[in-house]
A and B are shown apart, each in its own frame.
Chain A
């Protein structure tokens, strides 16, 4: 499920007052306003970026599709007289578009696809969904509705008479569709006003009609077959192109359509980029950049990535989750006003209120910073607001620089680790990023083993890795890494120099081998052992020395720049780290929530009387809770009479002994009614159902809890 979270400014202010943040009773509305505005502008920026990324990633696919569509009917338009064209049966050009199982993302893809097609190929596009088309009749209705409307959209002024024909009165059949198509294309042929010129240059004489079936899998076989058979009969008058949106594998076409029908199609396959790659790009462009001030903490990122990998593969959901993080961060962290571009942040620091300064002093990372300072400075920091502001500006600048460097070195390290066998630090850069955020990466075992592996890299690999690193550093604009680049280049030249030395050594080794050949087995063994001994004691070759140097250098870079973010002062301002909130919102657990509500009503109702300690059943709880708790103690089949008796005992317990005596054998009517209502409520919730196995029994539909 997707989770849409849209804050409205009014609502926010109201809720702001009710929630008390960080012991802050009096709420400064100035800052909430500012926070809201900052949040909005940041989100808009990010949204634009994601859309851009999406567009870029789909470009290749769409280009292919567009050229396919151009090809599809033009062939027949050009050479209708040729022999082969006459002999060949005309198939319906069909694009099988494999989009992957992330169904939630498809909508966006189709929307942009139809936009692209509208601009390049044809104004006549219909998007069909399986749930709208249970029968061929509904399909035709939907199709005609969409096609004829789209025509009206294109030029609403010119043909008012067309608008007046209501949809009901048009016979929904292929022939009327063909008539419509003829009239539309003829009109564009005969009258050529200036306005049309521009559009006819884009669309040619008789543009194809594109029908997109969004979810091929869900269509019923019969509807699809009928539709294809009908339209293949009219393909000459009605240039149809089908696009099948396929989530699983193209095999579904063959399993849905018999050969007699699929032989009417001319199917070409198109595959979209896998959503995993899409996610990598998104993470690369949104998180691993210093462009956006907002950052995700390790746990939060892990939650989002886990939802993606474990549950839905949906990039849209990932972005929605990211959006939720932004909103939540700006909502819960008063200092988030400083989470903006550095220039603005500096200005904002100057106008911070005293309360906000206090908030900063309360930040754990800032306290750590204060403690590390000299005592006079400590006092100044804790008492003088103006001095504090000055320091904050400097710290924010540091943080920005840290981020810039972090990203570069992280990429560099990724180049290294991704060339190692078995990927001890993960194949993807996001895994490495998580590892670096979590704690000091150089203290982990994986890092140790990857360094060891790096020390065994062969020369060509090492050189390419170094070259890539140089490219990464060069691409950055800052001058921070000028020295690093020089150093790396120096390594590269040294490797170059080694070339000659290698060749010389090769000769000597081969001569050694010649000698060995002539000895017998025993001697061979002996010489080998000796060789091994000598090698162990032998001092390292030049290449090995150099390799060690390179690895050590990279190690030093990592230690310098990949310090985990939570060691940095003021990281709370830009990092969102409350994973529990996110998990609560995104990983809804309906069963658990239901169980908690019924088992422990205090959790939701917050009524002191309901506060109970563990197992006992309080009679003040709502009836349904009592019934629920009692039913937990039963097996698969529940005897209604016993249940009622137990219920009345619990309820009567409070009424005291005098009531008890009166109704010892006869249950009160009111209690009976309450019981029946509670039981039917449980049935509605799906915990029990009436059973035919035994009279006066109901069956439990859940297990466990006994």
Chain B
């Protein structure tokens, strides 16, 4: 295991850092060597990417906090416009060193203003002799802001002529960021996924105070055995571990087994975890409901999950409208005459047609159809006469708002609107019953 070493920082802090970021030592040491000493200029921009919950945000935060480097940490999802983002950076900068001072709100509309204000802020805070780090979490959102934001952040050091490094955190690769016009290439660091061993190690670290570390580690081992196939998200696993731990302890609490009796404990918990995988993990039932079930020792079968309530009750004509829409979406136009007319012509070339149709329909997905076709099919499938009243038309609209139909192309309403049916065959079957 490589120990973190850096001449600029005291080894005690480094040791502490190392204990806080297990399984990420190599990345941290690489970052440290890029950062250099406090007063040294660092690389202008660093791009860190890796899959969900591979510790990007956490590592950055602990790194900057433990070493007490001046930094600004901003989430780009939360600050959804460039204005909000830039202002947030400035506000955090103000509070960065001078906490007693009243924070004044400065309007900042564009990047030009930002650079100006940024220089002022840095000058006023005696930050000149240290590298300032600006961390932009979920940086993929930057692509949706104005075109100049991303390239400007990448070369902020050059634009502001200050000792600053911008760190971008993202789940996607740099290649998807690169603008057409070209830009400064950041230094990219990849955070690989945690392996099962890593997960085991990290999850076992935070054991509850009442139980020994070994006991908890055994539990984590069982948990990973069940969930590793479907979920590698560290946060989610931690959540699941916390949810089910009380169940695992049950035999120990009641005295049926002691802490070493792994086999017995495994037998007790394994079916329970499998059930959890089908329910809580998929958010079929909520975690608080799950906990209540555990406490009352009930069967999860009593509680129906979200997907159990698939049936939708619809008014009479809405049902027919939906069925007509489904038929219109999945049947080709030329078969309409054959299906919905009493005296259709002879069906010629049956073989050819069948061969052709085999591939189509459900594999190709719904096709758009005009309103008139929908109504024509409706009239032919409803037994009694249907008057085209406003009620029918408003039902079509309400089906659209319920997302059972979608409108294709938002052009003029008068120009023959076209729809698509978005429900599945099973849904239609349930309705048609």
Contact = CB atoms under 8 A, between A and B. Distances in A.
Interface of A: 1, 71-72, 75, 83-84, 87-89, 91, 93-94, 96, 98, 100-101, 103, 136-137, 171-175, 215, 217-218, 226, 229-230, 233, 247-254, 259-260, 262-263, 265-269, 271, 274, 276, 307-313, 587-592, 684-686, 689, 701-703
**Chain B CB within 10 Å — which of A101, A174, A259 has the most?**
A101
A424 to B, nearest CB: 21
Interface in B270-310: 282-283, 286-289, 304, 306-307, 309-310
B391 A174 contact: no
A398 to B, nearest CB: 39
5 contacts: A88-B238, A173-B88, A588-B391, A689-B416, A703-B376
A565 B347 CA distance: 57
A248 B388 contact: no
Contacts of B105: 171
A515 to B, nearest CB: 49
Interface string B197-241: 000000000101110000000000000000000000101101101
A208 to B, nearest CB: 14
B307 A251 contact: yes
Given A1-B390, A136-B80, A175-B88, A248 B75 contact: no
| Contact-residue size bin, chain B (C-beta under 8 Å from the other chain) | 35 or more
Contact of A233 (B78, B84, B388): B78
B306 A267 contact: yes
Interface stretch (B15-23, B162-170, B242-250): B242-250
Contacts of A307: 391
Given A136-B80, A266-B288, 5 more contacts: A101-B314, A249-B310, A259-B283, A311-B392, A701-B416
Q: Which 5 A-B pairs have the closest CB atoms?
A: A87-B242, A686-B414, A588-B390, A250-B306, A83-B208
A588 B392 CA distance: 10
Nearest to B290: A266
B286 A101 contact: no
B289 A268 contact: yes
B378 to A, nearest CB: 13
B307 A266 contact: no
B140 interface: no
Interface string B43-78: 000000000100000000000000000000001011
Contacts of B388: 589, 591-592
Contact of B402 (A72, A248, A311, A685): A248
A311 B395 contact: yes
Given A137-B80, A701-B416, A262 B283 contact: yes
A217 B209 CA distance: 45
Contacts of A88: 238-239, 242-243, 287
Contacts of A274: 313
Interface centre among A217, A226, A266 (most CB of B within 10 A): A266
Interface string B382-397: 0000011111111100
Contact of B316 (A269, A309, A592, A701): A309
B264 interface: no
A267 B305 CA distance: 10
Contact of A587 (B78, B287, B313, B387): B387
A274 B398 CA distance: 18
Interface string B359-401: 0000000000000100010000000000111111111001001
A126 B392 CA distance: 33
A442 B171 CA distance: 75
B288 A171 contact: no
Nearest to A703: B372
Interface of B: 52, 75, 77-81, 84, 87-88, 105, 206, 208-210, 233, 235-236, 238-239, 241-243, 245-246, 282-283, 286-289, 304, 306-307, 309-318, 372, 376, 387-395, 398, 401-404, 414-416
Contact of B306 (A248, A251, A311, A590): A251
B309 A587 contact: no
Given A84-B246, A311-B395, A174 B78 contact: yes
A101 B400 CA distance: 12
Contact of B389 (A250, A253, A588, A701): A588
A248 B403 contact: yes
Nearest to A130: B401
A309 B315 contact: yes
Contacts of A248: 312, 402-404
B277 to A, nearest CB: 13
A592 B52 CA distance: 58
A630 to B, nearest CB: 21
A218 B316 CA distance: 23
A137 B236 CA distance: 29
A272 to B, nearest CB: 12
Contacts, number: 172
Contact of B287 (A91, A174, A253, A310): A91
A655 to B, nearest CB: 35
Nearest to A685: B414
A217 B84 contact: no
Contacts of A229: 77
Contacts of B286: 91, 94, 265-268
Given A88-B242, A136-B80, A266-B286, A218 B401 contact: yes
A703 B288 CA distance: 57
Contacts of B79: 173
Contact of B283 (A89, A263, A590): A263
A263 B236 contact: yes
Contacts of B246: 84
A310 B317 contact: yes
B431 to A, nearest CB: 12
Contacts of A96: 306
Contacts of B387: 587, 589, 592
Nearest to B81: A137
Nearest to B398: A103
B405 to A, nearest CB: 12
B239 A89 contact: yes
Nearest to A311: B391
Contacts of B401: 103, 215, 217-218
A269 B309 contact: yes
A219 to B, nearest CB: 10
Nearest to B317: A310
Contacts of B318: 101, 311
A217 B402 contact: yes
Contacts of A590: 389-390, 393
Contacts of B313: 100-101, 274, 276, 313
Contacts of B81: 137
Contacts of A101: 312-315, 318, 398, 402
A347 to B, nearest CB: 43
A83 B283 contact: no
B209 to A, nearest CB: 7
A401 to B, nearest CB: 38
B118 to A, nearest CB: 18
Contacts of B77: 226, 229-230
Contacts of A83: 208-210, 242
B207 to A, nearest CB: 9
Contacts of A309: 315-316
Contacts of B309: 98, 249-251, 269, 271
Contacts of B310: 249, 251
Given A101-B315, A268-B286, A312-B315, A218 B52 contact: no
Contacts of A311: 315-318, 391-392, 395
A540 to B, nearest CB: 42
Given A89-B238, A103-B401, A173-B88, A313 B315 contact: yes
A271 B308 CA distance: 13
A88 B315 CA distance: 43
Nearest to A101: B314
Contacts of B52: 260
- Name the residue in B105, B283, B304, B314 with the highest tally of chain A Cβ atoms < 10 Å from its Cβ: B283
Contacts of A253: 306
